[in-house]
């Protein structure tokens, strides 16, 4: 069993969920998160008292989607995430594939 964690742009979370559901993978967890990668946030100029002042947003809004899937579904799931989110630009996101040991699906 593997845990797949995708951290993606917020506007891509619904298309990603739809693409993965088309594969027959319906169980998902999602969270709103803040983060940054190599881009290191955003810098922009904003007016302050009639002058331009640099503003820095260190953390950007992202969505974290998590799936628990058997080994045989990992490749198709990762391909669907990349196909839906990949633009070859900074901020496209990250995908983590983690090994799970001792998963018990009968939690009471």
d(CA 66, CA 28) in angstroms, rounded, equals: 6
The pLDDT tens digits for 55-83 are: 677 788 999 999 999 999 999 999 999 99
d(CA 98, CA 1) in angstroms, rounded, equals: 9
Nearest to 94 by CA among 66, 69, 56: 66
CB 5 within 8 A of CB 65: yes
The pLDDT tens digits for 16-51 are: 999 999 999 999 999 999 887 766 556 656 666 777
pTM of the predicted protein model: 0.80
Domains and CATH numbers, the chain: 2-99 (3.30.70.120)
Going through the chain in order, the beta strands assigned E by DSSP cover 2-8, 29-35, 42-48, 51-57, 60-69, 93-99
CA atoms within 13 A on the CB side of 33: 17
């Amino acid at each position: 069993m593997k845990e797949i964690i995708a951290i993606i742009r917020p506007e891509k979370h619904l298309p990603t969920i739809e693409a993965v559901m088309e594969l027959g993978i319906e169980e998902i967890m999602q969270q709103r998160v803040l983060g940054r990668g190599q881009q290191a946030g955003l810098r922009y100029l904003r007016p302050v008292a009639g002058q331009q002042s640099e503003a820095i947003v260190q953390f950007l809004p992202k969505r974290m989607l998590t799936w628990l899937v058997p080994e045989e579904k990992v490749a198709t799931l990762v391909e669907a995430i990349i196909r839906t989110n990949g633009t070859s630009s900074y901020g496209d996101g990250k995908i983590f594939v983690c090994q799970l040991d001792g998963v018990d699906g009968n939690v009471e």
